[in-house]
Structure 1
Amino acid sequence: METKATKALKGNYCNSITQYSRFITREVNVGGVLMGGNNPIRIQSMTTTDTMDTEGSVAQSIRMIDAGCEYVRITAPSMKEAQNLLEIKKGLAAKGYTTPLVADIHFTPNAAELAAKIVEKVRVNPGNYADKKKFEEINYTPEAYQIELARIKKKFAPLVEICKANGTAMRIGTNHGSLSDRIMSWYGDTPKGMVESAMEFIRICHSMDYHQLVISMKSSNTQVMVQAYRLLVQTMVAEGMNYPLHLGVTEAGDGEDGRIKSAVGIGTLLEDGLGDTIRVSLTEEPEFEIPVAQALAQRYENRKQVMAADVEEPDFEIPEGYSPFEYNKRASAELNTFIGGHQVPRVILDLSDQNLKDVGILAAAGYNYSPILDKYNMGDQSIDFAYLGDELPSFEFPGNLKQLYNYKTWQNLSSKTNCHPLYNLKEYLVAAEKDIALNLVRVSNHDLDSDDFAALPFDKTLVFVLETTQECGMADQRAFFFKLMNAGIDTPVIIKRSYVFDENENLAEKELKAQLYAATDLGALLLGGLGDGVWLDAPQVSTKFRVSTSFGILQATRSRISKAEYISCPSCGRTLFDLQETTQMIRSRTDHLKGIKIGIMGCIVNGPGEMADADYGYVGTGPGKITLYRGKEVVKKNVSSDNALNEMIDIIKVDGNWIEKEEVN
């Protein structure tokens, strides 16, 4: 039976929730490189050079293109930069490069209109293209709101006409951090507000018969980003539109954090079959973004494609109360105040292949042993369960690290204190002995329909370890959760994903795939409120890497905070300081502040709004000048960059949120 909830999921924001089926969008021509439709997922990035530096911009663009970038975006904050796009284009052509260029526009319609005559695509931000943000709350009547829309059309229509006349494509790119005062006053700081911000401009284009559009819904908060894109597709479908989507998590940060956060947001939507072009926004050189984006996109190139018309109906109903457009944690039983319920998701690590005679193996798991003090020191990323299989350690484990053994080995342990059994389904049904606290049982979605599962004796010691061997593993595991919810089963569930990579790949390639695939597969479920623990099984990468990745995924999904978070933009020609250097400087002084979110913005374009998702902000406002924020509130203006970090730390101290590193260590 197809329920109302199933229709909402299946028909309005994606083709299927149980199998991979790409949502087919309108094809858009960007300088001969087609996107949307049945074209490959396109890869793009953005230059970080000064747009007036023609030679530097050409050289960096070539590095990006050689790395695999298919669209090169360049900022054009004023008329002079817009005009110089022609020189950059000529410089690239002279060296044999014809890759389409995209002009990035924010506050200057005249620059957008000029750029649209030069480059193949322009990007406009509806939050500040026709509005100046003053953070004012305005009480509009419906009539006054319509007058505002008419004003916007008058300002925006000339650009649309120029794009039509020149065959120029356009990206309407909503940014969570720069919604207009009008949108904020009418819809609030919500995914709905983000969608309506874009729809105002989309409807104008639609009414003018201009359809070379690409749409994005970017946010540094992965939950908001995913919900906004899904709601956008639902809204477009309801209005007879299917414009292609550009996916990205804005200001994702650098290094491991940036890659994981990007994969959580982008990967979740790719699993839904959404996305026609992607950009991984890292606070690094732009050519380093390309391999990450390629690894995400290539995963879906060879995946068996199920066309929308051939999608099979799920054999279950979508649980009442579940929505892809908002976060709701699945209700699970809380066992011994350790797993499930209101507890944070737990992290499991396989140590069965390690030298269990060496106490040093626990350092990678977050437990450092001090021989002098004869005790363990825990870090912020200390695992909760160590799976030892059939192997016995020769040293005593820390008291708060639970050990998991295969059932038959556990049964023969001389001491079972802090040790718990892991069964397969049949073992659990016939087990002669069970643990009084926790019994973990390996299951799959397929098992739910078996007689063995029907015979399970449910009690408050049971925990499922959910596995999958399906190509569309995320959808397969999501279906398991939905069936549990429909059956009223509140047993806690640890999500386990196993990965084996080509032995011909080097370690860096295996680590990148492990990181991105796990962030996608585990992150997509956690963003939906599904899962009480994660188990990343990837024996070809180190235990330390698996631990760091697991905690990184929990951090990126806001499921479990274990470190400071840096909302750092990827730099562009507008940037007023060296973002990579500044980010590292700030990180070196503040990375011990667990749970603090610090926004590091090179300019004011998205700065104030992005501060809404940060606790403190460090924003460039002029050469050598920094403005400091507490949330969206400006605390100090035009502080010298030489002393700005100290001033920000003083603000954190005044708020009572500062801890000295010595106290943490």
Structure 2
Amino acid sequence: MIDLFNYQRRKSSIVHIGALDMGGENPVRVQSMTTTNTNDTQASIDQAECIIRAGGELVRLTTQGRREAENMKNICEGLRQDGFNTPLVADVHFNPNVADIAAQYIEKVRINPGNYVDPARKFIKIDYTDEEYAAELRKIEERFVPFLNICKAHHTAIRIGVNHGSLSDRIRNRYGDTPEGIVESCMEFLRICEKENFHDVVISIKSSNTVVMVRSVRLLVEQMEKENMCYPLHLGVTEAGEGEDGRIKSAVGIGALLADGIGDTVRVSLSEEPEEEIPVARHLVNHFNRRAHHVMIPGTASGAFNWTCPTRRPTKVVGDIGGDHVPVVVSSVRKPSDEAFATASKADYLYLGAELPTRFDDGRQYILDFNVYAEHRQELAGKAVYPVFPVSAMPFVSMVKAERKFLVLRFGAPAEEYIACLKAHPEVVVVCMSNHPNRTGEQRALVHEMMNAGLQNPVIFSEMYQIDEKSDFQLDAAADLGALLIDGLADGVWLMNEGKLCPETIEETAFGILQAARLRTSKTEYISCPGCGRTLYDLRETIAKIKAATSDMKGLKIGIMGCIVNGPGEMADADYGYVGAGPGKVSLYRKQVCVEHNIPEEEAVEHLLALIQKDKESL
């Protein structure tokens, strides 16, 4: 069982992938995928070597046809001649015969249950009788077992890689577009592996939606335990995008699972050069490795909490915090040079510390240290200014009058005292902090302690760092908050940093993390794939053009997909989709419905903008 409060790696079986072992006590492996044409032997070798030199421990290549599968032999031989023994992985969709060929030449084959024997996904409602459903399962087994026999003969490992965006019609029609359906899609194939005594299996469940991804993996872990399975897990947020948004989104989803010790290999899917993914994956793995052997946190899980299907913790509304309100963002203004930031800030609350500002802006809400607030109470009358109390000042909560108050708490604070205080003061919002090496576990422990006491005061999670590098700060903050946000425990986020970062970066990161966790939308979201040998247009140039034209469309989700493999499905909650349909051709989607087919690539962005504008005008 997963320990919510104390970090330890999930126990998994060991899988042999060529010269590399994965799972068990082995380190969490990091990997990436080439974007070259797999028929171009030298280009594929060169890019694979770039990934390996960056620290990649596995390299995956798209293998969409027989020619590509056959050429994997040449790529593998070329790498070995250059002195690299890094395992190669063939990525196969739609054609099981291709998987059979690739399994003879390389160390691992990825197959997708959603299109292994059921490639004709039409996303239409067809009811399957139990007999028809069973017949489909037999068809899968009849085709899958010969592949497993080839893998046994050649000592080839496999990855059963389920993508949210490519579930089969059969699964969608029986289970819906749900985590339960995603998990069952995987388990159907795993049960065949068990029956055939084939155990060199790695599993992945991916989605561009971090909530779906995390919930599905948690549910899979629980289901595997029920069926006495412990296969290693490959983690990734598919179509995460590029730049800061892609990194934050990946860190939220992957971090939420690594925090619970789940994960044996990581691939961060960025719409960038493949080798750029490796340092991000390595950073996330190292971030959680540092939590090993920490001082035990004696937390008690609340019976009201469901780890596999968490819902938002019920809270009483305090102003604009808690209840059904989106989580708030608190930003800190700690020095006079931050005055320009304070004026432009989009945060819901600005923390001023012990300093009164030169002026209070209309419509702005502020937080002041309680003693300063009490001293200036009369001149603050009528202003949206609220006191914050350290735990040592808890006795003063009753003495200071305010319609809204904040109390900083850490797990381990005298429970009887703070519980009595919070029960007597429903107007108090808890600011949950931690300096424990496993801050996720300790912050979880405090909220579970509150839940066990029946408290419904809202909770803001505050994270303090001392980091100078922007990317490191974004990754650490997103990874630390991921599990807490997806657990449904957060009513707000307050990031602080003592390093060299400007307050704008800190605040933007807070909003970005909330958007990545699907809790609050503050800007346009781009669901873009990392590209591979199947990509049918210049992906990075297209992303840049679409971003430049749509970045001010707050709340809009746009999917940018290189090919049809995960296109319509992975864009399930996108408003619009831009999908490679053929060489130099693009199809446009509204939700999952294709509305324009085979547009010349050079005209496609303009067609997308016209479609968006037409829909806006019709509202």
Are residues 21 and 299 of structure 1, via their aligned partners in 2, closer, same or farther at CA, if it must alter by over 3 Å?
same
Q: Residue 279 of structure 1 aligns with which residue?
A: 267
Native 8 Å contact 1:652 1:658 kept in 2: no
Q: Residue 371 of structure 2 aligns with which residue?
A: 408
- Equivalent runs, 1:474-485 vs 2, <5 Å: 474-485=440-451
Q: Distance in 1 between matches of 2:241 and 2:402?
A: 44
Q: How far is the alpha carbon of 1:301 from its aligned partner? A: 2.5
Q: How far is the alpha carbon of 1:430 from its aligned partner? A: 3.0
Give the TM-score of the pair, scaled to structure 1.
0.89
Q: Deviations over 1:428-463 (max 9, x none)?
A: 313585242211111112115253543556334211
Q: Residue 340 of structure 2 aligns with which residue?
A: 360
Q: Residue 515 of structure 1 aligns with which residue?
A: 474
2:609 to 649, 653, 657: 649
Q: Residue 113 of structure 1 aligns with which residue?
A: 100
Native 8 Å contact 1:447 1:453 kept in 2: no
Native 8 Å contact 1:128 1:179 kept in 2: yes
Q: Deviations over 1:47-68 (max 9, x none)?
A: 0111112111111111111110
2:571 is the counterpart of 1:611: yes
2:313 is the counterpart of 1:386: no
Native 8 Å contact 2:537 2:601 kept in 1: no
Q: Residue 344 of structure 1 aligns with which residue?
A: 326
Native 8 Å contact 1:425 1:453 kept in 2: no
Native 8 Å contact 1:102 1:121 kept in 2: yes
Q: Residue 302 of structure 2 aligns with which residue?
A: 318
Give aligned-pair identity as a percent: 46
Q: Residue 373 of structure 1 aligns with which residue?
A: none
Q: How far is the alpha carbon of 1:572 from its aligned partner? A: 0.3
For structure 1, which segment, 278-287 or 473-482, has the greater mean C-alpha deviation from structure 2 after superposition?
Answer: 473-482
For structure 1, which segment, 456-465 or 258-267, has the greater mean C-alpha deviation from structure 2 after superposition?
Answer: 456-465
Q: How far is the alpha carbon of 1:312 from its aligned partner? A: 8.0
Letter paired with 1:635: V
Letter paired with 2:332: D
Q: Distance in 2 between matches of 1:448 and 1:168?
A: 56
Native 8 Å contact 2:8 2:260 kept in 1: yes
Q: Deviations over 1:541-573 (max 9, x none)?
A: 221111111000000011110011111000000
1:586 to 527, 534, 546: 546
- Equivalent runs, 1:493-504 vs 2, <5 Å: 493-501=459-467
Q: How far is the alpha carbon of 1:271 from its aligned partner? A: 0.7
2:383 is the counterpart of 1:399: no
Q: How far is the alpha carbon of 1:20 from its aligned partner? A: 0.3
For structure 1, which segment, 66-75 or 404-413, has the greater mean C-alpha deviation from structure 2 after superposition?
Answer: 404-413
Q: Residue 378 of structure 1 aligns with which residue?
A: none
SS in 1 for 2:532: coil
Q: How far is the alpha carbon of 1:353 from its aligned partner? A: 3.5
RMSD: 1.9
Q: How far is the alpha carbon of 1:657 from its aligned partner? A: 7.3
Q: Distance in 2 between matches of 1:411 and 1:552?
A: 34
Q: Distance in 2 between matches of 1:50 and 1:539?
A: 46
2:608 is the counterpart of 1:624: no
SS in 2 for 1:99: coil
Are residues 452 and 234 of structure 1, via their aligned partners in 2, closer, same or farther at CA, if it must alter by over 3 Å?
closer
- Equivalent runs, 1:79-118 vs 2, <5 Å: 79-118=66-105
SS in 2 for 1:484: helix
Q: Distance in 1 between matches of 2:341 and 2:332?
A: 11
Q: Residue 420 of structure 2 aligns with which residue?
A: 454
2:446 is the counterpart of 1:465: no
- Equivalent runs, 1:35-114 vs 2, <5 Å: 35-114=22-101
In the alignment, structure 2 segments of 5+ residues that lack a partner are: none
Q: Residue 493 of structure 2 aligns with which residue?
A: 534
Q: Deviations over 1:587-624 (max 9, x none)?
A: 11111111111110000111121121211100001122
SS in 2 for 1:655: helix
Letter paired with 1:360: A
Native 8 Å contact 1:35 1:276 kept in 2: yes
1:236 to 208, 221, 224: 224
Letter paired with 1:85: M
Q: Deviations over 1:169-208 (max 9, x none)?
A: 0000000000000100111100010111111111111111
Letter paired with 2:579: V
Q: Distance in 2 between matches of 1:298 and 1:246?
A: 16
SS in 2 for 1:400: coil
Q: How far is the alpha carbon of 1:658 from its aligned partner? A: 9.1
Are residues 644 and 157 of structure 1, via their aligned partners in 2, closer, same or farther at CA, if it must alter by over 3 Å?
same
In the alignment, structure 1 segments of 5+ residues that lack a partner are: 1-10, 368-381, 502-506, 660-665
Q: How far is the alpha carbon of 1:539 from its aligned partner? A: 2.0
Q: Distance in 1 between matches of 2:220 and 2:505?
A: 36
Q: Distance in 2 between matches of 1:611 and 1:18?
A: 34
**Count of residues in correspondence between the two structures:** 614
Q: Distance in 2 between matches of 1:274 and 1:245?
A: 7
Native 8 Å contact 2:160 2:189 kept in 1: yes
Q: Residue 425 of structure 1 aligns with which residue?
A: 391
Q: How far is the alpha carbon of 1:317 from its aligned partner? A: 4.4
Are residues 657 and 475 of structure 1, via their aligned partners in 2, closer, same or farther at CA, if it must alter by over 3 Å?
farther
Letter paired with 1:246: H
For structure 1, which segment, 69-78 or 84-93, has the greater mean C-alpha deviation from structure 2 after superposition?
Answer: 84-93
SS in 2 for 1:43: strand
2:247 is the counterpart of 1:247: no
Are residues 197 and 452 of structure 1, via their aligned partners in 2, closer, same or farther at CA, if it must alter by over 3 Å?
closer
For structure 1, which segment, 422-431 or 582-591, has the greater mean C-alpha deviation from structure 2 after superposition?
Answer: 422-431
Are residues 407 and 177 of structure 1, via their aligned partners in 2, closer, same or farther at CA, if it must alter by over 3 Å?
same
Q: Distance in 2 between matches of 1:490 and 1:107?
A: 50
1:177 to 145, 165, 175: 165
